Structures are given as C-alpha cells and as structure tokens.
Amino acid sequence: MRKFPVELEVRGGVLFFGGVSAVELAERFGTPLLVYEEDKIRRAMREFRETLSGLGVRYRLFYACKAYCSLAMAHVVREEGFGADVVSMGEMITALRGGIPPEDLLFHGNFKLDEELRFAVEQGIGTIVVDNAYELERLASLAATQGGSRPIPILLRITPGVVAHTHRYILTGQEDSKFGFDLESGQALAAVRLAMRTEGLRLRGIHMHVGSQLVSSEGPVQAVRRLEALLTSVPEFVPEVLDLGGGFGVPYVVDDPHVPLRDLLVPVVEAVRELFSRLGHPEPELWWEPGRRVVASAGTTLYRVGGVKEIPGVRRYVAVDGGMNDNIRPALYQAQYEALLANRPLDPPEALYTVAGRLCESGDILIVDHPLPHPQPGDLLAVFVTGAYAYAMSSNYNRLPRPAVVFVRDGKARLVQRRETIEDLLALDLPYGFGDCETAPSEVPNAAARKALETRGAPEA
C-alpha cells in the first residue's frame, strides 16, 4: 500500500476512522462528511503541553478557533486545558457556550467591532490583543467609560518585519502587513509608550505571529531577536507575557516534511531566554496559539464519487459531491492533498486522476493528477488532513449546504454539526415586496449573540 501523510486504519478491506468504518459513516451521515478522530486532536494538544513542560518554561496555550470552531471542539479544548484564541463575536460566543471560561479567551483581530470590544470587556475576556492605534484609542475610551472596574489586560500585536517561509497569503510578520504595529517605523514603540500610560489598560506584553504552516522555527526566532531594540528603548517595560502566535506546520502530502514539535519550539524558547537574560529581565510567560497543528491531521473529508471522464491523451477526471465550498484551500493557496478510495483502500492505483469538485468554477479542483484505482460512481473518496481551515472557510457558493461534521472515538461516531439544509439557507431569505418596508423587522446587530449566551453551558456529552 502507498504511504500517506497520516496513519491509516484498514479493517476487512475498508478504511476506518477511530474504530468506525468509513462506509458506515457515509451511509449514516451522508457525504460530503468531515470526520474528526477525537483522539488525534487530544494527542496533538497533549504533545504541546508535554513538550513545553519538558522545557521547563512557564506557558499557556490557546487553541486558534479559526482553524475549526464548534461547540464540540470548544468542549475538547476546555477538557485538554487549553484556552482559546477567538477573532469574532461568533467565535467568542461559541467558545463561551462550549464551556471555556472568559478568562481563558484571547481576543484577536485587526478590526474588532465596537460591539465585540464592549462584549469582551463586559464578559471579562482574559486578554485583548490590540492590533492598531485606532483600536488602542477605542479601548482606552471604553476603559474610561467603564470607570472603576478592573483594568483591561492587553497585549500589543507587533509586526517584526520578518518574512517567514510559507505561502504569501498566510504570511503575517512582514513589514507590509495589515496586521499589527510595525516595529521598524517606530509605531510599535509609540504604542508601547501610549499603552503604558493609558489608565484603565494593563499592558501585559507583546504578541507576534509571523505566519501559518511554518516548517521551521527560523521566522519566530528572528522575530524574537528583533524585539531587542524595542525592549532596550523602553527599559521600564518588562513584558510579563510573550505570545508567539501559532503557525506550526503539518504534512499534507507524503513528501511534506514532518517537523517534530520540539524542533519548532526549542529554538524559540532558547532565543527568548537568551534575549531576556541579556536584557536582565525575568523570563516572560510564553503563550502560543496553535490552530492547524491541533486539528488538521485529525480531519478527513469523505466524498461520494460521481462521474469519471477521460480526455484521451490529456487527463482523467473524477467528480465528487463537494469541492471548493467545503475546502477552498486548493483554489486559494494551491494547497495539496492526498486521497484514497475509502471503500477499497487496498486496491492498487491504476492511473492518475484529477479530483474535481461539483461547483461551477474551472478552478474547483481538489487534487491534480493523483494515483487512484479506476474510480466508479458510488465509490467513497477520503481526502486526508482536511481538519483545519476547510469547514472553517466553507461557503454556500452555488447555494450548496455545508457538510456534516462527526467526531469519532473508540468505535463510536457522534454527529457534532448537522448537515446544512436548503431550508437553513432559505430561512435567511425574506419575502419580496416593498409595500411594508417601514414595518419590516430591523435587525439589532449581535442582540441574538447576547441571547445565545443566556443558554451558555457545555454541549451535551
């Protein structure tokens, strides 16, 4: 059998996930179906904890909800002792309702809405990562109007001017970035000074995230070293916290490097220790916000095969019942994936097939020229390592409903997000007509979100 970027479980000639047959999963829940092996998620989180504990650092971990966010995921995150990095009202509410305490949330984003900032402060969200001068100003006035309550704990997001090695769309540490206070031009220094003297704000430290899908520690290490000039310029600022973001890469295809977590963490920890001891500062608490590394490899998408066509001398195509609406990554980042026929994984490859989605876009191609046995309509195609930024970035393009999501564990499958229905889509549409415009209901932004919190609590086990 060919090698894959994840370990496979094959029983009786069928692919299994967490002890459950892929064929059974597809029959029970339909396709496309996103299947998460819960143990893999938990193991990935434990690996972070164990590696960092082994290094003897003081640390905190926040799962980056943007990679995949649901009540079930929040539940696992809480059980594994992680906090959560959230970037919107939607993620905040999901994390809170999933049982993550407000103090364990870290609120990110380059444009946080007023309503979101107010909500975060009211709820006592642990830390707000301030991205820019406009936000600092708004937070300062929020702190002033709040009067008397606790100072708002903040980190400042700094763009260190480091170009890490990854796809340009997921680079964030370079000078020319929409995120953060630029270090080189002095904006970061000005922000530190302003934040320190702003009453009602408690500047706890610095945040830097140089990019995603990193397979080397070089970018984050350079970022840490670049802090020296800033910290030397404001010796009275001793960061209690240094948050180095996420970015830990995973192998998507078998030829991708599998970089041990230790190799991504140890050089960064050493760089921090070296810098802080040179400055005579106590070692800060180190925070990380991994998203992809926690969920990517734990997720597999199951598609049903439809038509197969061969253009002689040109290419063979196999169409599946999903595509760029459930996984935009190939179209957006030229991301590569590997696949297997889940109902007959032991059949040897017979030809190269290009896996086409069913959306009306020529770019809706999930995999180009992949070795497969000749697929037949009705076969099940498993696409591996789709746990991060696939469902999270899904859309209703072509009016397609989002897939269902199941968690599997110990031979059991639990539906954690039901398949969207056409009714769900239609529920957003209001009847057409201009006769009653004045009396049409007006929407109060985020009122529903607050209401949703009233039913806060862990999802049913």
Ligand X SMILES: Cc1ncc(COP(=O)(O)O)c(C=O)c1O
Ligand Y SMILES: N[C@@H](CCCC[NH3+])C(=O)O
Q: How far is CA 69 from CA 18, 92, 454, in A?
A: 20, 10, 20
**Which residue shows structure tokens 């994840």?**
6
131 binding partner (options ligand Y, ligand X, none; Cβ < 5 to 8 Å by kind)? none
Identified binder of ligand X from the candidate list 17, 181, 248, 337, rule CB under 6 A: 248
Cα-based distances in Å from 380 to 4, 14, 37, 97, 187: 17, 10, 18, 35, 53
Token pair 């260190």 is at which residue? 160
Minimum separation from the CB atom of position 39 to ligand Y (A): 23
Identified binder of ligand Y from the candidate list 170, 266, 425, 452, rule CB under 6 A: 170
Annotated binding site for substrate: 292, 329, 333, 361, 389
Q: Which stretch binds ligand X (CB under 6 A): 243-251, 324-332, 391-399, 400-408?
A: 243-251
Stretch that binds ligand X, among 33-41, 242-250, 298-306, 419-427 (CB under 6 A): 242-250
> What's the CA gap between 434 and 392, in Å, rounded?
36
The option from ligand Y, ligand X, none interacting with 370 (CB < 5 to 8 A, set by class) reads: none
Residue 329 interaction partner, one of ligand X, ligand Y, none, beta carbon < 5-8 Å per kind: ligand Y
Nearer to ligand X, 18 or 246 (CB): 246
Q: Does 304 bind ligand Y (CB under 6 A)?
A: no
Residues 41-70 that bind ligand X (CB under 6 A): 64, 67
- Interaction pattern, residues 174-193, with ligand Y; x per rule: CB under 6 A: --------------------
Work out whether 329 is an interface residue with ligand Y (CB under 6 A): yes
Active site residue 69: no
DSSP per position, 270-317: HHHHHHHHHHTPPPPEEEE--SHHHHGGGEEEEEEEEEEEEETTTEEE
For ligand X, the nearest residue by Cβ is 246
Integer-rounded Cα Rg, in Å, for the chain is 24
Residue 25 C-beta: closest distance to ligand X, Å: 26
By a kind-dependent CB cut-off of 5 to 8 A, residue 345 interacts, out of ligand Y, ligand X, none, with: none
Please report how many Cα atoms fall inside a 13 Å half-sphere around the Cα of residue 261, on the Cβ side.
19
Name every residue whose Cβ is closer than 8 Å to that of residue 270 and which is 6 or more positions away in sequence.
Answer: none
**Strand 59-64, strand 105-107: pairing:** unpaired
**Contact status: 251 vs ligand X (CB under 6 A):** no
Q: Which of residues 144-173 bind ligand X (CB under 6 A)?
A: 172
Q: How far is the CB of 292 from ligand X (least distance, A)?
A: 4
* Least distance to ligand X, CB of residue 90, Å: 16
Structure tokens at 190: 């000005």
Cis amide prior to 251 (ω within 30 degrees)? no
Helices assigned H by DSSP within 124-156: 133-146
Q: Binding mask 211-230 vs ligand X (x if CB under 6 A, - otherwise)?
A: -x------------------
Q: Which of 38, 85, 91, 326 binds ligand X (CB under 6 A)?
A: 85
**In the complex, minimum distance from the CB of residue 35 to ligand Y, in angstroms, rounded to a whole number:** 19
Site size toward ligand X (CB under 6 A) is 16
**Spatial separation of the C-alpha atoms in residues 343 and 161, rounded to whole Å:** 48
204 binds ligand Y per the rule CB under 6 A:
no
Nearer to ligand X, 21 or 127 (CB): 127
The yes or no reply on residue 329 touching ligand X (CB under 6 A) is no
C-alpha torsion 435→436→442→448, nearest 10: -110
Helix 261-279 to helix 38-54 angle (10° resolution) is: 30
- C-beta of 25 vs 156, nearer to ligand Y: 156
Question: Using CB distances below 5 to 8 A depending on partner kind, what does residue 245 bind out of ligand Y, ligand X, none?
Answer: ligand X
Q: Which of 108, 304, 358, 402 touches ligand X (CB under 6 A)?
A: 108
Burial of 397 (0-12, 13-18, 19+ CB in 10 A): middle
Q: According to the binding rule CB under 6 A, does residue 389 interact with ligand Y?
A: yes
Task: State the DSSP code for 449.
Answer: H
- Picking from 344, 283, 350, the residue whose alpha carbon sits closest to that of residue 316 is 350
In 145-210, the DSSP E strands lie at 152-159, 181-182, 201-207
- Find the helix packing angle between 447-454 and 89-97, rounded to 10°: 10
**Binding of ligand Y at residue 327 (CB under 6 A)?**
no
Helix (H) or strand (E) holding 360: none
Measured in whole angstroms, how far is the alpha carbon of residue 278 from the centre of its chain?
35
CB of 388 to ligand X, least distance (A): 6
**Active site residues per annotation:** 360
Q: Give the footprint of ligand X on this chain (CB under 6 A).
A: 64, 67, 85, 108, 172, 209, 212, 245-248, 289-293
Q: Give the footprint of ligand Y on this chain (CB under 6 A).
A: 66, 170, 212-213, 329, 333, 389
